[in-house]
Amino acid sequence: MITVHHLNASRSTRVIWLLEELQMPYQLVHYQRDESTRLAPASLGKIHPLNKAPVIEDGDVVMCESGAVMEYILDQDAEKRLRPDAGTPGYYRYLEWLHFAEGSLSLPLIANLLLQMEQRDGTQPLDGYLAKELTLDFSYIESTLADSPFFAGDTFSAADIMMTFMLEIAQSQGVLEGRTNTLAYLERIHQRSAYQKARSFG
């Protein structure tokens, strides 16, 4: 049975909602945000190193990223509901919006929220947020690349193509300094002829 690690007032509501729509059995483990910082408790980090909700567990699978978790749950549904059939125009429309929510819309909205807090309280949550998130994310990336040569394991995949673009931005900002696994990964990736061809177009 799927276990949902649910943080109050968070994206894990998406996961619970989907499971309810599908009437799939699940169990909930509750976590409460810190009243003042609004951050998740450290106990969530024992389940997944990013210390964020949602996280699900199902047998050997432990996953974060709400969009990916939604896909995982839909894959378990024998009746194949709530996702257009792969390969149809509707599927690609679905896929675009599924990624849009976190890939494009989330960044300006979260930045806007932090700026509003800054204007309202005179605090500087944006600085703190960026420093914390960058450390967390790049520690996770670094340890993933210590365990496997590519993001999805032993084999190169489209996930590597998605990640490389962001890692290059991080490198240009000095964020990768001392991240030896990530730097070595980038060097390896840059040897790929398809990558070099893609870069040759500017």
C-alpha to C-alpha distance for 23 and 88, rounded to whole angstroms: 26
Question: Does 39 sit near ligand GSH (CB under 6 A)?
Answer: yes
Question: Does 6 sit near ligand GSH (CB under 6 A)?
Answer: no
Shortest reach from residue 189's CB to ligand GSH, in Å: 23
Across-strand partners of 57? Answer: 3, 62
Shortest reach from residue 9's CB to ligand GSH, in Å: 8
Q: Please select the residue that binds ligand GSH; options are 26, 52, 163, 185, rule is CB under 6 A.
A: 52
C-alpha to C-alpha distance for 116 and 13, rounded to whole angstroms: 24
Quick one: tokens of 105?
């819309």
Q: Which residues from 60-99 bind ligand GSH, rule CB under 6 A?
A: 64-66
Q: Please select the residue that binds ligand GSH; options are 7, 56, 73, 145, rule is CB under 6 A.
A: 7
- Site size toward ligand GSH (CB under 6 A) is 13
Question: Does 5 sit near ligand GSH (CB under 6 A)?
Answer: no
Q: Please select the residue that binds ligand GSH; options are 4, 40, 73, 114, rule is CB under 6 A.
A: 40
- The residues of the shown chain that bind ligand GSH, judged by CB under 6 A, are 7, 10-11, 39-40, 51-54, 64-66, 102
